[in-house]
Amino acid sequence: MIYKARLVVCFLLILSGCSGAMTYPDSPNFNKKTARFQHPIGDYHEKSFVDFFKFFAAYITQESDEKETAGFPVSISTKNDMANFKENVMWVGHSTLLLNHLDVTIMTDPHFSDRASPFSFMGPKRITPSPVEIADLPRIDVVVISHNHYDHLDEASIREIARTQPRVEFFVPLGLKSLLEEWGAERVTELDWWQQVQRKGVIIQPTPVQHWSKRTLFDRNKTLWSGWMLQWNDFSFYFAGDAGYSDDFKETAKRLGSPDLAAIPIGAYEPREFMESAHINPEEAVKAFGALGAKRAIGIHWGTFKLTLEPMKEPPLKLQKALKNGGVPAERFRALRHGEKWPDAVTD
């Protein structure tokens, strides 16, 4: 049954539509010949049909993961809990984080839906429930989006946030503004890598990472992808989004300084030969932590959707091992429970 459903998903994903082409002649990251965005080091993630087929064949035929039915423990937050969410950070799940500092509340890649898919009835299913409802969120000032993959940019979540909190301001990498506006977001700013804006005393800017974008069959790299740095006077937060390992982590710290807190992906990394260029594994996450010179980090991008071949419970275990091997104290780089808050990471 799972096998069949997964097969149909793959087929429908291949058939899904295409979007209009935009050009960005002023962006140094836009290749005018190919009319696509491009990382200076090239497009390492471009795979052949055979590579894709091999991955999907392995994905749809893999043994069911024990955590796919059980999920992970969740720390639920009520509307009341959220009303008191100050000087704190919470991992909502996958790449969704909520952070408050000096009365500014930031959310990253909001995803509250049951699937990371263009379809509500099939595609990678949420295995751990969201610890909070959109209706119960505190007032959000800023939402940053890393890129358009379905596990990071969720239409239903954006629509609901835009509807319930019309004053929220969305920051997106180049090319995504019109899509968010289509979904009802009224205040959307799109930026190129290293382009800074300031809101409520926070400098907000997208930073390069080694990744790619795609939402439909024909729109590969037609929109930009990014990490984000958010800098208050006395605190900085780096959100890596989705990334393969590259010198971008080092370069970001060199240009902008080391963050006090970083959100770094630790999951969705197997099989290595297919995923390496797009998703770091826990060992590389620890390497990125070092390259960034971050004071603390939260491991994200695991335990919420089954996207790849490693067992769902593996990323935090491998993170612990990698931290030990790297001589990094475990309390500096934590894999939080879904819904867990970590105020010390903001205030200390």
Q: By C-beta, is 101 or 149 nearer to Zn ion?
A: 149
Nearest-angstrom CA–CA distance, 3 and 82:
39
Comparing CB distances to Zn ion, the nearer of 149 and 222 is: 149
Alpha-carbon distances, residue 207 vs 3, 90, 167, 196 (angstroms): 38, 22, 25, 10
d(CA 45, CA 76): 37
Find the shortest distance in angstroms from Cβ 226 to Zn ion: 11
Q: Which stretches of the chain bind Zn ion, using CB under 5 A? A: 149, 242
SS3 13: helix
Nearest approach, Cβ of 241 to Zn ion (angstroms)? 8
Smallest distance, Zn ion to C-beta of residue 274, A = 13
Q: Within 106-167, where are the H helices?
A: 155-164
Cβ-based nearer residue to Zn ion, 149 or 296: 149
Least Å from the CB of residue 133 to Zn ion: 25
Closest CA relative to residue 70, chosen from 340, 334, 312: 312
Choice between 149 and 215, CB closer to Zn ion: 149
Rounded Cα distance between 105 and 14, Å, is: 37
Min dist CB 243 to Zn ion, Å, is 9
Angle at 335 between CA 329 and CA 337, to 5 degrees: 135
Question: Which residue's CB is nearer to Zn ion, number 138 or number 265?
Answer: 265
